[in-house]
Amino acid sequence: MMKKSWKSLLTSSIAFVASAVLLQATPVLADKVDIEPMMTYGESLNQEELAQTKSALGVKDGAKEVPVYINELNSLLQDDYPYSQVYSSTYITPAKNNGKVTVEIVTPKTITAITEAQYQNAAITAGAVDVNIKVASVKAVDGSGALAGVYKSFQAAGYTLNSQNVQVAQNELNTLSAISKENKGKEGFSDKELNAAIAEIKRQIQAEKEKNDGQIDQDQVKQIVVNIINNYHLGDVLSQENIQQIVGQMNQFSQLQLSDAQIRQLKNLTQSLKDKGGELIKEAKKKWDKVDPKKKEETQNFLRKLWKDLINAIREFFR
């Protein structure tokens, strides 16, 4: 689905990633989602494009096929954008991996605004557990149609979505993609670092809530955001407006009630992004090599703090 460039500049925030808690017919948070293999596809695809999309996604015979219509995008994504087409599609299959959610963008050149980590972040916050998700599009699009398809697939499986959480989730995804677009090519900026930082922010917000009977105030959220953004070397890269956008979005996230499965998978996502941290460490080293010698001592002290925070985070994760 294509959008005008200004749409991606709307204020919002991870990331897999849109925050909608999955509910059964009764208002009980879902710790387990049973879903059959299902493909969601954009209404704008013609028959040839649909066949190409199914081939790219590796859709198996017998999988349920669910169309995503243009006129239902606003209700699925909880926004008011004047959509005119939808191409991005998904293939969702059940997984038996302790609740883990995986995302693969099989046509990375045509999904222009949303990364795998952002889909994953949003999907977990949305309540997805025990699923593998593939995303594809035959035309260059931002990828929002695929996200709408993820939501619709759960509806088709008999689950309903909390509209407030969907809206928070969509805002989150828009914000991260907008920040990434704004800072693309800027020295010191990395999508990987931003996605890892957002996952860690969410994990720490949840940890703080668990320690305080589900409560957290805006000052605590802001402090968590600022500390982690600095730990990932993004404090001097992102604009103050970018950071404030993240703070505002994380304040919204902090008000959501997540299931135990969602909390576990947020922790797993954080760890997964850290496991891929070899690249982040290399990027950090490049920054270190460019530091003015006069500032080496100050920077070294900062890196010591970063290492200490990382060790503490890993200890807390395993605890």
> Tens digit of pLDDT per residue, the chain (319 long)?
544 333 333 323 333 333 333 333 333 334 455 678 999 999 999 999 999 999 999 999 999 999 999 999 988 887 888 999 999 999 999 887 666 788 999 999 999 888 887 788 777 766 777 789 999 999 999 888 998 898 888 888 887 666 777 778 778 888 888 898 899 889 889 888 888 888 889 889 989 999 999 999 999 999 999 999 999 889 999 999 999 999 999 999 999 887 777 777 777 776 676 666 545 545 545 554 555 555 556 655 665 666 666 666 666 655 5
Reading the block at residue 279, the tokens are 């690249």
- Residue 264, burial from CB neighbour count under 10 angstroms (0-12, 13-18, 19+): middle
Report pLDDT for 274.
Answer: 64
The answer to whether 286 and 57 are in contact (CB under 8 A) is: no
User: In whole angstroms, what is the distance from residue 230 CA to residue 306 CA?
Assistant: 9
Report pLDDT for 300.
Answer: 58
- Phi, psi (degrees; rounded to nearest 5) at 93: -130, 150
Report pLDDT for 75.
Answer: 87
Q: Please give the C-alpha separations between residue 237 and each of 225, 232, 233, 277, 290, in angstroms, as whole numbers.
A: 14, 10, 8, 19, 15
Residues found in the chain: 319
* Confidence (pTM): 0.67
Looking at the chain, the number of H-run helices and the number of E-run strands are: 11, 7
Helices (H), 44-143: 47-57, 73-77, 116-126
Report pLDDT for 303.
Answer: 59
Report pLDDT for 117.
Answer: 78
Report pLDDT for 112.
Answer: 86
Report pLDDT for 161.
Answer: 65
For residue 177, which of 16, 307, 50, 62 has the smallest C-alpha distance?
A: 16
Reading the block at residue 69, the tokens are 């219509």
What pairing do the DSSP bridges indicate for beta strands 38-42 and 64-68?
parallel
The answer to whether 89 and 147 are in contact (CB under 8 A) is: no
- Phi, psi (degrees; rounded to nearest 5) at 275: -65, -25
Report pLDDT for 299.
Answer: 57
